[in-house]
Amino acid sequence: MSKLNLKKASFATLCVHGSGGVDEATGALGIPIYQSSTFAFKSAKDGADIFSGEKEGYVYTRIGNPTQAAFEKEMAFLEGAEAALAFGSGMAAISSVILSFCRAGDNFVSSNTLYGGTHNLFMETLPRYNIEAKEVDTTNLENILNSIDDKTRLIYIETPANPTLTITDLAECSKIAKKYNIPLVVDNTFPTPYYQLPLKLGANVVVHSATKYIGGHGDTVAGVVVGKKDYINELRGSFLRDLGGIISPFNAWLLVRGLKTLAVRMDRHEQNAFQVAKFLQFHPKVETVWYPGLSTHPQHDIAKKQMSGFGGMVSFEIKGGCKCGEKLMNSVKLFTLAVSLGDVDSLIEHPASMTHSTYSPEELREVGITESLVRLSVGIEDPADLIEDLSQALKQINI
Ligand SMILES: *Cc1c(COP(=O)(O)O)cnc(C)c1O
């Protein structure tokens, strides 16, 4: 057990120590990987008491596991929440949260600029169960107000949104949610709790693709939900237990390991992203740069108000359209042409044909994901090398 009072610890200290400290049984510095499906009871009565909930204890890894618990404990600390629940992927976390609030016939209001998989869940899969997502431009709060009716069960926001990095005002959304007595759910994958704390801004539930900055090394797929203890218990007892989208002990261990460096990684991601954004902003072959830290970003003031930093994602429109974007992506040497994000390695991709190909051409137009949009996940390499790489790749383009 940690001797520290973790409730008072600062963020970077929590990253290193929040998962619980030295293992009591063995003295191991790191949390062991409890690679076990089942857990022995001390007696028949002990087993019955744990099953009935009268006593705390582990039963079976689909319901709980000590390595998962260490990760969950740390995530709850970092988001300033009562509790957290790990899932096998971001999509397992998101789908379980939506299903926990909605029944057939219900609807919810959501941002229209979303991770492509989330958009597909909302527009293709959930309608099969008669659950309707009303995707609207949530940068304009009127659109949210106009969409709520007596069957609306939650508001779902992604900010900064993937891939255009538009910002939605979370404090204002939470006022709307409170007025209608429905929960506000926020996908906090892009900023991480290091740069944005939605619960402090009035949100009720936070979801993450832990695959991204939480893990940070491009080696794990995972998700997590944080919120009030009662809600997390209900989610564990029904949706994790019944749908079974659990994380493995090994992946939970990788996330605990990843979190130890979250604060230093995010600082470096942001410094590098800022430099890359400024370089691109003045490049003659670049049309527009989308980075919430730039004063030219349309919602820069809201970003400044609700985020303590702007993160490591940069998108931009290249002059000359899709062909030139293709040339750029084939010409980089240090950036890797790959989807996903939040890794220590820098990544480049084309949203319209890759991550956001779940959007129809009309939907892409509506949310401003053009053919010439390029998305960068800026890694933690030397920023001069990253800029040099983009510079040489841009030189190869003939507009
Ligand atoms: C990647 C991503 C998801 C989905 O997470 P998986 O771990 O891939 O299932 C959800 N939201 C955002 C913002 C993402 O970037």
* Stretch (H or E) spanning 336: strand 336-337
d(CA 259, CA 15): 6
3 CA → ligand 1 middle, Å: 35
Identity of the amino acid at 99: L
**Per-block mean pLDDT, blocks of 10 residues, the chain (399 long):** 78 93 88 96 95 92 96 97 98 98 98 96 98 98 98 98 96 98 98 98 98 98 98 96 97 98 98 98 96 97 98 96 91 96 97 92 92 96 98 93
**Closest residue CA from atom 1 of ligand 1:** 209
Mutate to test the pocket of ligand 1, among 119, 156, 211 (most ligand atoms within 8 A of CB): 211
User: pLDDT at position 169, please?
Assistant: 98
Cβ 393 under 6 angstroms from ligand 1: no
Atom index in ligand 1 nearest the CA of residue 190 equals: 13
- What is the assigned CATH class of domain 11-260? alpha beta
Q: Domain-by-domain residue ranges, the chain?
A: 11-260, 263-395
Decide if 389 is catalytic: no
Mutate to test the pocket of ligand 1, among 110, 118, 339 (most ligand atoms within 8 A of CB): 118
Atom index in ligand 1 nearest the CA of residue 221 equals: 7
100 CA → ligand 1 middle, Å: 19
Tokens of 151: 């069957």
**Closest residue CA from atom 6 of ligand 1:** 90
190 CA → ligand 1 middle, Å: 9
User: Is the distance from CB of 334 to CB of 381 less than 8 angstroms?
Assistant: yes
115 CA → ligand 1 middle, Å: 6
25 CA → ligand 1 middle, Å: 36
Q: In CATH terms, is domain 263-395 a member of 3.90.1150.10? A: yes
Residues 6+ apart with CB under 8 A from 47: 41
**Closest residue CA from atom 7 of ligand 1:** 90
d(CA 170, CA 192): 15
Q: Which of 58, 137, 169, 187 is catalytic?
A: 187
Q: From the DSSP assignment, how many helices (H) and strands (E) are in the chain? A: 16, 12
Cβ 196 under 6 angstroms from ligand 1: no
359 CA → ligand 1 middle, Å: 15
Q: Model-level pTM?
A: 0.97
Tokens of 250: 């090994």
Decide if 268 is catalytic: no
Cβ 342 under 6 angstroms from ligand 1: no
**Closest residue CA from atom 9 of ligand 1:** 90
Decide if 187 is catalytic: yes
Atom index in ligand 1 nearest the CA of residue 222 equals: 7
d(CA 399, CA 390): 16
Cβ 158 under 6 angstroms from ligand 1: yes
Atom index in ligand 1 nearest the CA of residue 162 equals: 13
Q: Which of 212, 257, 260, 375 is catalytic?
A: 212
Q: Which residues pair with 120 in a beta bridge?
A: none
pLDDT digits (tens, 9 = 90+) for 235-287: 999 999 999 999 999 999 999 999 999 999 999 999 999 999 999 999 999 99
Cβ contacts of 206-210, under 8 Å, gap ≥ 24: 206/79, 206/81, 207/90, 207/93, 207/94, 207/97, 208/75, 208/90, 208/93, 209/89, 209/90, 209/91, 209/93, 209/115, 210/86, 210/90, 210/255
Atom index in ligand 1 nearest the CA of residue 189 equals: 13
Max Cα separation, the chain? 76
Atom index in ligand 1 nearest the CA of residue 94 equals: 10
Q: Which of 23, 49, 62, 106 is catalytic?
A: 62
Cβ 90 under 6 angstroms from ligand 1: yes
User: pLDDT at position 2, please?
Assistant: 62
Q: Which of 34, 58, 115, 156 is catalytic?
A: 115
